[in-house]
Amino acid sequence: MSYDRPAPPMVYGARKAVVKGLLWGRIAWLSLRLHRRPWRAARAVRRLVAERARHRRQVTAKYARAGGRFFWDLYAPGWPSLAFDRFVERELARAMSSPGPPALQTLIFAITKSCPLRCQHCCEWDSLNHRETLSRADLMRIVSRFQERGVAQILLSGGEPLQRTEDIIDLVTSAGGESDFWILTSGHGLSEERAVRLGAAGLTGVVLSLDHWDAAEHDRFRGFPGAHAQVERAARHARAAGLLLGLSLCPTRAFVSEENLQRYAELARGLGAGFIQILEPKAVGHYAGKDVELGPAQLELLEEFYLRLNFDRACRNMPAVQYVALGQRRTGCSGAGDRYLYVDTDGALLACPFCRAPRGSALEGRLDDALQALGALGCPEEADAGVRPGAEEVSHGG
């Protein structure tokens, strides 16, 4: 099998400056369309800039490119697109404290219990490979309900979401471009034919779970021989189909070292990834009751890695890094219906994949009531620690 090698995904330097100018020009125009009065529109943009700077949501040194669009954040739709416009308008309204419900932006949706892997950190471990609860019609209804609330990004997880590829194609096709769709996957089953069909349906990208640069170590972590080779094949197929590629890393204590992080970054660049997502291990799911939390020295190494790949000029052709927990420690979590939430494989609403206290159903009853109950609960883990929910990065499994 041969491929035309896709162009490198990272955009930096003078070209990034041009794209940034056009992107912020679009934001200014959207603000004027939303707020009508120039002075009010300018104030909204200034507040948006100040909020983003405070929470450091954007990767400022570079963008990722795929499908003719540019992405500054793994958790925001790419520009230009209808989904980008919807996302920005809701953030501009939030910046001016406009009346109405919170600007829920992202839905993380576990669409299947089925998975052939046995991953050490799986947060859906207790429901894995049980009988499916949600039909195709249920999936369509849940996505439709959240799109009606303005959700601009939908991340499909599981289980292994590619076990329901035909349903995903239907979901993405019916969305009409109003939301960006991502698949959070092990790569199992992402063939060339499937990648092409998913891209043609309108899928934005895939986030492949890759937990070590060493094939044997990754296969051991995932409980599946050949899992690493699957990721490499899936990455080639995704890139060839014009999809944006992200890699998701769960860094264990044994993994976190300067050498391992550097070799991981080099592999990610070689695979054509635009983003690396760091998801710290949590004692939930298959890790429940286990001592898996990282120590201060390891957290410091991960933060240095985040800063170096994102802002060091020598690393500008490396993927950007999204470090969920780092932002949450600084400013709180934006889950529980603030900017994002999680719907599990039974259709229950949860604050995030790691907070397992359901609050209502995504299928039944008034969604507004369920979201209000979820928001009142907030993040149980942060409530125990005395941290008030804030407005930082989205987290998810996969």
Please report the domains of the chain, with CATH numbers, ordered by start residue: 10-95 (no CATH), 106-385 (3.20.20.70)
Cα 213 from Cα 293, distance rounded (Å): 21
Quick one: what percent of the chain has pLDDT higher than 90?
A: 59
Q: State mean pLDDT over 85-106.
A: 81
Cα 59 from Cα 309, distance rounded (Å): 10
Whether the predicted pLDDT of 295 surpasses 80: yes
Q: State mean pLDDT over 331-355.
A: 78
Q: How confident is the model at residue 388 (pLDDT cuts 50, 70, 90)?
A: very low
Tell me the average pLDDT of the chain.
86
Residue-level pLDDT at 385: 43
Q: How confident is the model at residue 389 (pLDDT cuts 50, 70, 90)?
A: very low
Q: How confident is the model at residue 157 (pLDDT cuts 50, 70, 90)?
A: very high
Whether the predicted pLDDT of 195 surpasses 90: yes
Highest mean pLDDT among 57-66, 173-182, 323-332: 173-182
Q: How confident is the model at residue 356 (pLDDT cuts 50, 70, 90)?
A: confident
Query: Which tokens hold the place of 375?
Result: 């928001």
Q: State mean pLDDT over 145-170.
A: 93
Q: How confident is the model at residue 12 (pLDDT cuts 50, 70, 90)?
A: very high
Residue-level pLDDT at 331: 61
Q: How confident is the model at residue 380 (pLDDT cuts 50, 70, 90)?
A: low
Cα 159 from Cα 167, distance rounded (Å): 14
Phi-psi region of 189 (alpha: psi -120 to 50; beta: other; left: phi over 0): left
Cα 24 from Cα 37, distance rounded (Å): 18
Q: State mean pLDDT over 7-35.
A: 92
Whether the predicted pLDDT of 386 surpasses 50: no
Q: Which of 35-39, 54-58, 161-165, 199-203 has the lowest mean pLDDT?
A: 54-58
Residue-level pLDDT at 335: 55
Instruction: Judge whether 395 and 328 are in contact, CB under 8 Å.
Output: yes
Q: State mean pLDDT over 311-317.
A: 92
Residue-level pLDDT at 333: 63
Residue-level pLDDT at 54: 64
The sheet carrying 275-278 orders its strands as: 320-323, 275-278, 244-249, 205-209, 180-185, 153-157, 106-110, 340-343, 349-350
What's the farthest any 2 CA atoms get from each other in the chain? 60
One-letter amino acid identity for 212? Answer: H
Burial of 59 from C-beta contacts in 10 A (0-12 / 13-18 / 19+) = buried
Residue-level pLDDT at 336: 56
Q: Which of 31-45, 290-304, 354-368 has the lowest mean pLDDT?
A: 354-368
